Amino acid sequence: KYARANSRAEGLGNTSFKKAAWEEVDLDEYGWSRKFDLVFASMSPGISSRDALLKMVHASRGYCFMSSFAYRRDIVRQNLEEIIFGGAREHHNGATIYYSFNTLWEAGYYPEIFYRDTEWENILSLDQALFRYTHWLTREQALDKKQQIKIHEYLESISIDGFIKEHTEAKIGYMLWKVC
């Protein structure tokens, strides 16, 4: 919706938009083999396998770019993992960017990788934080009612006037490679 609106606002007539799961896209069916000057994936869960990564390469006639966390630390999440699971969960921050680098190297490409350190804060209402962290922790495993209550109690205990302040530190990896 926003992409189409922005395209119209800029007077661009050479854009089209397709919403599809990357792993299900058939490049030949869409006419996308070697079609694009740049194939771009930023913080994308769609690039989660060797096949998905190499599909990016096959869609490009020039360059590919991807970005992903090389490191990420969120104290609220870490504290909740300690409370709910008895310890911080193993997160594979950095695994995607390094796995991708190695996969490309093995396939004969020579990606350049750059890093940027960053940090940010978000202020969330208690309800927003409860939704976000419950959803995030449920990705790891199903939560029972007792665990959900613990999440609510912890978030309530750190809230100030009904708001939670999140502070996140991260290192983001940016990778660029030429495909031809």
The mean predicted confidence, pLDDT, of the chain is: 92
- Is residue 13 scored above 90 in pLDDT? no
- Is residue 22 scored above 70 in pLDDT? yes
Q: State the average pLDDT over residues 108-130.
A: 97
DSSP structure string for the chain: -HHHHHHHHTT--S-------GGG--HHHHT-TT-EEEEEEES-TT--SHHHHHHHHHHEEEEEEEEEEEEEEEHHHHHHHHHHHSS-----TTHHHHHHHHHHHHTT---EEEEEEEEEEEEEEHHHHHHHHHHHHHHHS---HHHHHHHHHHHHHH-BTTEEEEEEEEEEEEEEEE--
Q: What is the pLDDT of residue 95?
A: 82
Q: What is the pLDDT of residues 23-44, one digit of tens each?
A: 999 999 999 999 999 999 999 8
pLDDT-based confidence at 45, cuts 50/70/90? confident
Q: What is the pLDDT of residue 27?
A: 97
Q: What is the pLDDT of residue 8?
A: 93
- Is residue 91 scored above 70 in pLDDT? no
Percent of the chain with pLDDT over 90: 78
Q: State the average pLDDT over residues 119-142.
A: 92
- Is residue 94 scored above 80 in pLDDT? no
